[in-house]
Structure 1
Amino acid sequence: MDRNHIILTILLLFGFLISIQAVYSAEIIIGPTDSIQTAIDTANPQDTIILNNGTYNDSSIQVNKELTLKSVTENPDDVIIDAQQNGRVIEVLSGVNNVKIQGLTISNGYFDGTWNGDGAGISNKGGTITQPTQIINCKFTNNNATGEGGAIYNRGVLTITNCTLTNNTADGNGGGISNRGNLTITGSVIQQNTAPSMGGGIYNLDTMTITSCTIQQNQASGGGGILNDGDLTVTGSTIQQNQGDNGGGINNFDTLTITASVIGQNTAPYGGGIANWNTLNIVGSIIQENTAEFFGGGLHNLQGTANITDTTFQLNNAGSGGGMCNWDTLTITSSTIKQNNATSGGGIFNDHLQDVYGIVDANFNRIVANTPKAIQSDSGTVNAEYNWWGSNNPNFNALITGDVDYISWLVMTYSANSRVISLGGLSTLTADFRYDSNGVFHDPAAGHLPDETPVTFTTNLGNVGSKSIVTGTINGIATAILRGNEAAGEALTSARLDNQTLTATVTITPTARAASSSTKTIGMQSTGIQLAGIGLAILLVSAGLILPKRK
């Protein structure tokens, strides 16, 4: 080995040893009798402090550098930091990057501070940073702040993942969380938190994204589950059983987008599910079983604009507007409004607030079984064209009160293709909702009945999967396949949606004896010997047993 190779080997070995030493020195392991603050003070940036199982009675812990603080098992039930109401549990100081807090229970924190910066469990101060603080798989219980953010207060960039916040309180806003920065919450449960003012579960004043979370059984004056006065996006989440004076589930004062979520069983005098004062967008969600004593069981749109698409409002209750009450501008398209109840306007109640008159555009919806009326408009305008009202000939005297434009409306047509099939054959049954009561076709690209509207197909002969099947509409059409595999005869088929049933007869004929098929069978039998002989000759030639004589 030459001199250069020796030097290179020594350098590589030296680097390897240094890397091993760096990894080893980055872990500081402590126990319940040790001071967490001392471990932080002695750690170097990017170190990991590992807490062995047990209860730590530390409080007012300050994180002043980039590091990880976690339990040895990463199970929050194994490591509890109990501040015993002696102060805030953890504070991440301003300007500190990339702090990770993982697998801990944060409990009994108390902070007596101002309205502008609290958080009895964890306070993330923000400042100029490049990487967020992360809270992963933690539990927050019984923390109390006299100002904002019973469990968590954020002024920086923070992510909360797979955490549970239970029974935390704030004397001001945000019983569970108060956010004045950029906050992302994923896969977490925020429940049974309270605030006397705004946001029992969450109070948002800046930018927040909530994904795959459950926010339930929280209570506040404004926004039992959430009060939003910033930019909030909620996706794939459940907001239920919350209680407030305005917006039992959510009270929105700025921009709120809800997608693929459930808002259910919330209560408030105004806006049982949601109260909106600014900009609201709802897509592909379910608003159900919410209750308002006065206005808007599912939604109360007081001021601002509400845009709703592909969403179901069902089983909501209110004094006025069981499904929704509108005092400003509301557009609802390709949605289902059903089985809502109110004293006035079971489905939709439209009115005005001071000199602003309600404007409703409700098109291509399924509006059925609301009591006492589907829509009541006491003032303002309602465009309710091209909706499905439960039958091809709805009784609008029983459905509408006030100035509502409901002509034309969607109707169902029904067809079978083919009308005559052989035994064992197939016929496609189609329920079509793309035409209105004047026979005008509506391109689904411009609007259609809500997808997955359930249509029931039946037959008395053959099967459609069984004797009946329920299939959902897609782009205004539902289909089923009739299989004529039972017997020959007349199959009476039907399609039903709500109070409308249409029928079509399909004739199933006996299977005809195919002469060509029989001839081929007979021909094969009569010529079988000849074919076998030919086959044998070919095999013999191939084997060289039959060869022509050479001259």
Structure 2
Amino acid sequence: MNGSHGNDANDGLSWKTAKLTIANATGTVSDGGTVNIANGVYRGSGNTKIIINKSMTITGQSKSGTIINGDNSAQIFKIQKYPREESMPNLNIVIQNLTITNGNPVGTRGTISTDNVCEDTLTIKDCIFKYNNEAIYCNMGTCAVTGCTFINNTRAISNTATLTITGCTFVNNTAYSGGAIATSGTCTITRSVFTGNKATGDTGGAIHNIGTLNVFNSAFTYNNAAYNGGAIYSKGNLTANFNQITENTCRMGGSIVRNTGGTTNAELNWWGNNNKPTGIGGFTINKWFVLKVNTNSSSVPINTNSKITADLRYDNYGTLHTESYLPNGIPVAFTTNLGTVSAKAYTVKGIAQSTLKSALGGTANVSAIVNSQQVSKLIKIIDKIPPKVSSTNPKNNATGFSRTATISIKFNENIKASTYWSKIYVKNMKTGKTAVISKAIKGNTLYIKMSSKRYPYTWYQIYIPKTAIKDNFNNNLAAAYTFKFKTGKYPLNYQ
């Protein structure tokens, strides 16, 4: 169907003979057929309050470009068995690749609902729901929601049936309780993200459960409840494993609260730090994930790279878990006091990696930070590179140099005296005699001062033996170093 040039009198069998309205297309398509909807904005009569009572697939051309707008006054799709005969096969409905917005089911439930559908199946895939008043209502039957995004809805999903949610994102949805989801049926959630959802008056910032709720490999961050359960409130049975549950808030009761009745298994989650989880109510937690930092070596040569791994696969007893993983995409910040690291990474299957690039010798303190937890590891950076002269004053072969100025030799790193420190000399190249000198080191510079004024117009040679100086890692020069200069007439430096 095509809202810009379709006609409901057409047969709808090709784009040239497309239908005009969604209601006509879904009403005339054969049982088990497909309704393809072109990009555009669909609203008003014929495009809302649509009753679906036979199996079909409804597919938008693109999920961001095919938009059905309820104008804050209408339901979009209602899946119901009647007036179908009881003997007819169960419905199988697929809705995919659409944006559903501003749905307001006046006098009924759900912008999309499965009212009075006993054994039928609704599958919703790759859709965007925003600014709806109760985006989806699963009343009976089976509902599967996959790859969908829910933003700024007054509750995203209400469920009294059997619901599975996979790979979905829930952002800034609000309701009196259960800001994103309220479920009294059976609900299983995997690989989904809940952030910024809010229960404005009661419990369950992200989810309010009084049925059976299973949550795996999902992330709950920055959700808020006015009363209990910043992330999840459960009065029924709850199993929540391999989830990130961090920075959720509420007036009392913390991230997860179990009220009277039901059971809770919230083992093996990441709670934002390595300590025993706090801010929970009505149950105990024995195992939780902790942050560890590993390196591929405890010592590395200078100017080489070392791989740093932030690992969220170990529990508080030190047991490695690979049977499942925390959700991908948990941000990890890396820091170091020596060298450089790639500053930010994201977990994949419970780990995130960075690379330490070592430019100087010493001991690098490398840290990984996840939420409020920081864990550090020491890496010894071994310097086996000899120090090098980077500049001299005077320069080699310079002429007209001052007869009294201090001679300085700057190295590429800090230095100190070594075995043959006393063998450094300054020699008058005309007479072959060595001068009386004093020497001092400050940082990376060697200073040489002669006790008497140098002769005018005379060449002098400075000689530094290989083992006269060394760096802070006890590396001597690669070879003896010499340079020469010629004085001028006056003490001033005329270079």
TM-score range normalised by the length of the shorter chain: 0.5 to 0.7
Give the direction of change, closer, same or farther, for the CA distance of 1:97–1:292 in structure 2 (3 Å limit): same
- Structure 1 spans left out of the alignment, 5+ residues: 1-26, 52-68, 72-80, 83-87, 111-118, 195-199, 328-352, 389-409, 513-551
Aligned-pair CA distance for 1:178:
0.9
Give 3-state SS (helix, strand or coil) of 1:270's partner.
coil
Relative to structure 1, the CA distance from residue 305 to residue 365 in structure 2 (aligned partners, 3 Å threshold; closer, same or farther) is same
Spell out, residue by residue over 1:412-439, the C-alpha distance to the aligned partner (whole angstroms, 9 max, x if none). Answer: 57667253x54444555566777788xx
User: 1:477-519 CA deviation, whole Å, 9 max, x = no partner?
Assistant: 76655445x35x424333344244343433221279xxxxxxx
What amino acid does structure 2 have at the position aligned with 1:490?
G
Residue 251 of structure 1 and its aligned partner are, at CA, apart by 0.8
Aligned residue for 2:122, secondary structure, equals strand
1:207 equivalent in alignment to 2:139: no
Q: Which residue of 1 aligns with 2:130?
A: 191
Can you list the C-alpha shifts for 1:312-349, whole angstroms capped at 9, x where unaligned? 2333221223322223xxxxxxxxxxxxxxxxxxxxxx
Alignment of 1:29-68 (within 5 A): 36=8, 39=9, 47-48=13-14
Verify the 8 A CA contact 2:244 2:271 in the aligned structure 1. Answer: no
The more displaced of 277-286 and 224-233 is 277-286
Partner of 1:107: 43
The residue aligned with 2:285 is 383
Cα shift readout 1:79-135 (whole Å, capped 9, x = no counterpart): xx59xxxxx87762798441525237553349xxxxxxxx95321112xx6xx2435
Distance in 2, Cα, partners of 1:456 & 1:106? 48
Q: TM-score, normalised by structure 1?
A: 0.54
Aligned to 1:442: 319
Once the two structures are superposed, what CA deviation does each residue of 1:378-400 show, in whole Å capped at 9, x if it has no partner? 65x41334543xxxxxxxxxxxx
Report matched runs for 1:452-463 at 5 Å: 454=332, 456-460=334-338, 463=339
Corresponding position: 1:264 with 2:195: yes
Contact (CA 8 Å) 2:219, 2:327: kept in 1 or not?
A: no
Q: Secondary structure of the equivalent of 1:183?
A: strand
- Distance (whole Å) between structure 2 residues aligned to residue 280 and residue 386 of structure 1: 19
Cα-Cα RMSD: 4.3
Other-structure match for 2:270: 365
Aligned mates of 1:29, 1:120 — CA distance in 2:
13
Contact map agreement 2:341 2:357 (CA 8 A) in 1:
no
Summarize the Cα distance change of 1:90–1:167 in structure 2 as closer, same or farther, 3 Å threshold.
farther
Alignment correspondent of 2:257: 325
Q: Is the 8 A contact 1:455 1:473 kept in 2?
A: no
Q: Which amino acid aligns with 2:229?
A: G
Q: Is the CA contact 2:271–2:277 (under 8 Å) kept in the aligned structure 1? A: no
User: Structure 1 416/28 Cα, relative in aligned 2: closer, same or farther at 3 Å?
Assistant: closer
Residue matched to 1:407: none
Check whether the contact 1:184–1:209 (CA below 8 A) recurs between aligned residues.
yes
Q: CA offset at residue 472 of structure 1?
A: 5.7
Which of the numbers 176, 179, 183 marks the counterpart of 1:248?
Answer: 179
- Tell me what 2:461 maps to: none
Structure with greater helix percent: 1
SS of 1:92's partner is helix
- Which one has more relative contact order, counting CA pairs under 8 Å at least 6 apart? 2
Deviations along 1:21-47, one digit per CA (max 9) or x if unpaired, are xxxxxx999978x7x3xx36xx5xx84
Counting aligned pairs with the same residue, the percent is 22
Cα gap change, 1:447/1:188 in structure 2, threshold over 3 Å: closer, same or farther?
Answer: closer
Q: Partners of 1:47 and 1:163 in 2: how far apart?
A: 21
CA distance in 2, matches of 1:502, 1:427: 12
Q: Report the alpha carbon displacement of residue 273 of structure 1 after superposing the two structures with TM.
A: 0.9
Q: Which structure 2 residue ranges, 5 or more long, are not aligned?
A: 81-90, 388-495
Map of 1:70 onto structure 2: 19
Amino acid in the other structure paired with 2:142: T
Amino acid at match of 1:458: T
Asked which structure has the greater CA Rg, the reply is 2
Quick check: 1:151 aligned with 2:53?
no
Q: Is the 8 A contact 1:459 1:467 kept in 2?
A: no
| Preserved CA contact (<8 Å) 1:260 1:285 | yes
1: distance between equivalents of 2:190 and 2:367? 31
SS at match of 1:295: coil
- For residues 459 and 48 of structure 1, the distance between their equivalents in structure 2, rounded to whole angstroms, comes to 65
Report the counterpart of residue 62 of structure 1 in structure 2.
none
Aligned equivalents of 2:321, 2:315: Cα separation in 1? 12
Equivalence for 2:380: 505
Aligned pairs for 1:132-147 within 5 A: 132-137=56-61, 138-142=66-70
Q: In 1, Cα distance between the equivalents of 2:163 and 2:37?
A: 25
| Paired residues of 1:120 and 1:144 also in contact (CA < 8 A) | no
The alpha carbon displacement at 1:450 in A equals 7.5
| Counterpart in the other structure of 2:152 | 217
